[in-house]
Amino acid sequence: MFNDLSADVLEVMHELEARDKRDRDDGTPHLERLRQITPDTGRFIALWAASVPAGAMIEIGTSAGYSALWLAQACRVSGQSLTTFEILPEKARLARETFDRTGVTDVIRLVEGDYLDHADEIREVAFCFLDAEKDVYESCYDVIVPKMVPGAILVADNATSHREHLQSFLERVLADDRVDAMVATVGKGELVCRRR
């Protein structure tokens, strides 16, 4: 999967990585920044996503589509598809551009809006990547876990970079009998939960 990335995918990934770095360095306002995952996190979530049982694959927090582009590589391997949710119209516009340029619109469906307004539309979740505002992690988790099929995986970003903010959420998840969970020290810290 990683050694077969097309020239278009590599070009767009490199452009987005450069823009994300620029955003962080030049003080671009928070809501305008791409706030992407790191490249090693991209590989990490793609490996998990390629290995889940049958069911829906979702992402909460698309931004310009960088992480979804990694997940699209997993979709090519598993034959599944991804639905990704983005609340901000400008980010959704950028993501559409990313998906069009890289030819992944056959495996990615972008929904413009708040995931929590659309949660009922998707059942039987096999994979979820949660990368939205940290304030909604708990509500998203509470909605998603009952929908997860046995063996399904949920990965949440920023488990170490935002540890203080997420502390009580992380403690709750690690003690949740419905899942087996750990925090992996990849990128900004990835909470990984497997539905029992």
Ligand X SMILES: C[S@@+](CC[C@H](N)C(=O)[O-])C[C@H]1O[C@@H](n2cnc3c(N)ncnc32)[C@H](O)[C@@H]1O
Q: Which residues bind ligand X (CB under 6 A)?
A: 35-37, 60-61, 63, 66-67, 85-88, 91, 114-116, 131-133, 136
Least Cβ distance, residue 58 to ligand X (angstroms): 10
- The per-type count for the chain, helices as H runs and strands as E runs, is 7, 7
Nearer to ligand X (CB atom), residue 86 or residue 190: 86
Shortest CA distance to 62 belongs to which of 28, 104, 22, 6? 104
Least Cβ distance, residue 80 to ligand X (angstroms): 18
Least Cβ distance, residue 129 to ligand X (angstroms): 7
**Residue 45: CA count within 13 A, CB half-sphere:** 32
Task: Output the residue with the shortest Cβ distance to ligand X.
Answer: 61
Nearer to ligand X (CB atom), residue 6 or residue 161: 161
Least Cβ distance, residue 4 to ligand X (angstroms): 21
Least Cβ distance, residue 34 to ligand X (angstroms): 6
The beta strands (E) that lie in 3-144 are given as 56-60, 82-86, 108-112, 125-130
Alpha-carbon span 183 to 152, nearest angstrom = 16
Alpha-carbon span 195 to 109, nearest angstrom = 24
Nearer to ligand X (CB atom), residue 164 or residue 177: 164
Amino acid at 97: E
Nearer to ligand X (CB atom), residue 95 or residue 181: 95
**Mode of pairing for the β-strands spanning 190-195 and 148-156:** antiparallel
Nearer to ligand X (CB atom), residue 89 or residue 150: 89
